[in-house]
Chains A and B, each alone.
Chain A
């Protein structure tokens, strides 16, 4: 029991990290990680929606007809997103202001629909809740990393507190959208390096692409 929960968390945080391995939910991650606190709020909001939608999709999995399941999932998800949005506007108005349009856009975050389709629709409620927590934790940790790097070097602060002192000249590009692309690219590269086997490029594919390269003079990657 405890072992399976631990395994699910390891999958969510490392092996199948939604942002760094599955490359899901990129839009929101790039936009709101200008500071660690924004990243934390976004991560928590997504985790809350993910846990609730996983629970309800799992509870209703025997009643939702196969043909209209995506529409049903979207209704469930958008309901919870609206609840989270209203709660945040009421209790954390400044955070809701900073997340702005990306708060309602959690609806189209592929992580949530992806977990509903791939996990919650085939599993019992309790493991689905754990899966939501694990994937949410993985997403939050990835966002925090991205936010910490961008805020620390882009503004010289963490949670708004100055770290490097007055003499530090911030690297402005890191807090702009292009910097977000580059930092996320580097983090995904680090993840691929840590995992050793690049998912898009294992040894047989590499050999194939090398032979193709020699034939056509170029390498092609899968998107």
Chain B
């Protein structure tokens, strides 16, 4: 039990990091990583949504789709995620205005974050995470923590890139992507060979 939880966390958050080794969620990774504070905000918002969306999609899959309408999985999951993001946004606005102030602008962006739909779909196929709804939700949480780690590390790297004078064709996105590639190389190299 404890070992399974640890294995899910280590494999999803670090070894098979969603950004660096599965290349999911690259749009917000490139878009929001220009400052560490916004990167942290985005990471927290993604963690919040992913933990909840993995629980809800799993619940709906078990109750409604399993064995009967499995081909509707993609349609149902993306609708759940879109409405969940909307719901979380409204609830935060009403109940926790201070948290809404910090995360508010990132929430609408999350619907199109492919890591959220990816985590919901992956959790169904994962050997450990598919055991029950709690594991499934924890899988989403771990994936989001991995995303947050990646975006925070890269925000630091990017602050350094911005200080350099870059050859003209490489300015903007290209140098950001190459920087991300080298960061990914370091990150994956550090954890290479660990298998769960």
Q: What bracket does the count of chain B residues touching chain A fall in? A: 35 or more
Q: Which residues of A contact B32 (CB under 8 A)?
A: 223
Interface positions, chain B 23-39, Cβ under 8 Å from A, are 23-27, 30-34
Structural contact, A178 and B20, CB atoms closer than 8 A: yes
* Cα A185 to Cα B113 with chains together (Å): 21
**Is the CB–CB distance between A27 and B27 below 8 Å?**
yes
22 of the cross-chain contacts (CB-CB < 8 Å) are A27-B25, A27-B26, A31-B22, A31-B24, A78-B78, A81-B74, A101-B118, A101-B122, A104-B121, A105-B121, A107-B78, A110-B27, A177-B23, A178-B20, A184-B177, A185-B170, A189-B170, A198-B168, A218-B163, A219-B162, A220-B34, A223-B34
Tell whether, in the assembled complex, residue A181 and residue B75 are in contact, meaning their CB atoms are under 8 Å apart. Answer: no
Q: Hey, which chain A residues are within 8 Å of B171, CB to CB?
A: 192, 198, 200-201, 221
When the two chains form their complex, are residues B74 and A104 in contact, meaning their CB atoms are under 8 A apart?
yes
Do the beta carbons of A79 and B75 come within 8 Å of each other? yes
Q: Is A108 an interface position by the 8 A CB rule?
A: yes
Binary A-proximity of B173-190 (CB < 8 A = 1, otherwise 0): 111111011101100100
Besides A27-B26, A192-B171, A219-B163, 10 new A-B residue pairs in contact (Cβ under 8 A), listed by A number: A23-B173, A75-B75, A105-B114, A176-B188, A182-B182, A185-B174, A200-B171, A219-B162, A219-B165, A221-B172
Q: Is A30 an interface residue (CB 8 A)?
A: yes
Q: Is A74 an interface residue (CB 8 A)?
A: yes
Contact (Cβ within 8 A) B184 A177: yes
Whether B185 and A74, one on each chain, are in contact in the complex, defined by CB atoms closer than 8 angstroms, is no
Q: Which of A8-42 contact B (CB under 8 A)?
A: 23, 26-28, 30-31
The answer on a CB contact under 8 Å between A179 and B27 is no
Query: Which residues of chain B come closer than 8 Å to A92, judged between CB atoms?
Result: none
Interface residues on A, range: 35 or more
Within 8 Å CB of B73, what residues of A? 104
Asked if B82 is at the interface (CB within 8 A of a chain A CB), the reply is yes
The interface residues of chain B, by DSSP majority, are classed as: helix
Contacts of B20 in A (CB 8 A): 177-178
Q: Which of A27, A104, A109, A201 contacts B23 (CB 8 A)?
A: A27
Residues of B contacting A201 with CB < 8 Å? Answer: 168, 171-172
Question: Would you give the shortest CB distance from A27 to chain B, in whole angstroms?
Answer: 5
Q: Spell out A's residues near B (CB within 8 Å).
A: 23, 26-28, 30-31, 71, 74-75, 78-79, 81-82, 85-86, 101, 104-105, 107-110, 113, 173, 176-182, 184-186, 188-190, 192-193, 198-201, 217-223
Q: In angstroms, how far is the closest chain A Cβ from the Cβ of B157?
A: 12
The residues of B that contact A81 with a CB separation of less than 8 Å are 74
CB neighbours of B182 from chain A (8 A): 178, 182
> CB < 8 Å: which of B22, B72, B113 contacts A82?
B72
- Asked if A178 contacts B188 (CB within 8 A), the reply is yes
Q: Are A220 and B30 in contact (CB under 8 A)?
A: no
A192-B177 contact given A79-B75, A176-B188, A223-B31, CB 8 Å threshold? no
Distance in Å: Cβ of A121 to nearest Cβ of chain B = 17
B58 CB to closest chain A CB (Å) equals 16
Q: Are B117 and A104 in contact (CB under 8 A)?
A: yes
Known: A31-B23, A86-B71, A108-B117. A185 touches B184 (CB 8 A): no
Given B72, B113, B169, B178, which contacts A192 in the complex, CB threshold below 8 Å?
B169
Q: Which residues of B contact A86 (CB under 8 A)?
A: 71
How many angstroms from the CA of A27 to the CA of B112 in the assembled complex?
11
Contact present for B26 and A107 (CB under 8 Å): no
Nearest residue (CB) in B for A108 is: B114
CA distance A199 to B172 in the complex (A): 9
Q: How far is the CB of B81 from chain A (nearest CB, A)?
A: 9
Known: A82-B74, A177-B23, A223-B32. A186 touches B174 (CB 8 A): yes
A180's partner among B23, B24, B74 (CB-CB below 8 A) is: B23
Selected from B34, B112, B165, B169, the residue in CB contact (under 8 A) with A110 is: B112
Q: Does chain A have a CB within 8 A of B21?
A: yes
